[in-house]
Amino acid sequence: MTTFDEALSFFGSLKLNAASYFILGGTKPGEGAVLTCDRDQVADVWKLDANAGRWYLVETNYDHSASPPFHDDRRHPLQRAMNATGSDKISAATMWDVISVTAVNTSAGERAPLNSETIYSTVMQASKPEVFKTVIRSRSEAKIEIVV
C-alpha cells in the first residue's frame, strides 16, 4: 500500500473476529477517516471534510452516529478541546493536551478522556514518521514513555 485510498480499501476489506474501528490518517490534507467495521463488512466510513466543518474526527468507544451513554461521554470534552485549540494550532504537543483532558462536566454525563481506565495514549503523524510517542499510563500516575 502506498496511498491513503489503498489503505482505506485494504482495511475495509478485512474479515474480522469482532466489530472494530480503524482510524486512518494520511499525509495529505483531507486524508483521514474512521471505519466502523462489523465482522464481515464496513458498516460506515466517516471522512474528514473541512468544507463540511469536519477538520477533525473524534472516535471514542461508540459509533459517531449514536449518542454516547450518560457517564461515558468523552466525545464532548474532546470536541471542546479540539475547537479551543483550532485547526491552525494542531501539533503533536497540542494533541497531547487534548487527549489528556481531565476537567469535565460530570453532572452532564461527561467522563474525562484521561481517566483511571486509560491504559496508554499515542500521538503519531503519518506525514512525519519521526513524530511518534506512546505513554503507558497507570492509576498510580507512574508513566513509561516510549518515543520513537
Which one, of 48, 35, 28, lies nearest residue 125 by Cα?
28
* Mean pLDDT along residues 49-77: 95
Residue 120 lies in a domain: no
**Residue 84 maps to a domain:** no
Query: Is the model's pLDDT at 141 over the cut of 70?
Result: no
Question: What is the per-residue pLDDT for 140?
Answer: 58
User: Is the dihedral angle over the CA atoms 105, 108, 109, 113 positive or is it negative?
Assistant: negative
Mean per-residue pLDDT for 41-62?
Answer: 94
Q: How many CA atoms lie within 13 A of 76 on its CB side?
A: 16
Is 121 inside a domain boundary? Answer: no
Q: Is residue 83 part of a domain?
A: no
Q: Is position 17 within any domain?
A: yes
pLDDT band at 28 (very low <50, low <70, confident <90, very high): very high
Q: What is the DSSP string of 46-107?
A: EE-BGGGTBSS----SS-TTSPPPTT-B-HHHHHHHHHHH-GGG--HHHHHHHHT-----GG
In this structure, the number of other CB atoms found within 10 A of the CB of residue 51 comes to 7
68 inside domain: no
Percentage of residues in the chain having pLDDT higher than 70? 93
Q: Which domain holds residue 40?
A: 1-57
DSSP secondary structure string, 31-53?
-EEEEEE-SSSEEEEEE-BGGGT
Is 18 part of a structural domain of the chain? yes
Confidence of residue 143 (pLDDT cuts 50, 70, 90): low
pLDDT, mean over the chain? 91
> Which residues are CB-contacts of 147 (< 8 A; sequence separation ≥ 6)?
132, 133
Please give the pLDDT value at position 148. Answer: 57
Element (H, E) at 135: strand 132-136
Is 28 a member of any domain? Answer: yes
Radius of gyration of the chain from its Cα atoms, rounded to whole angstroms: 16
Number of domains in the chain: 1
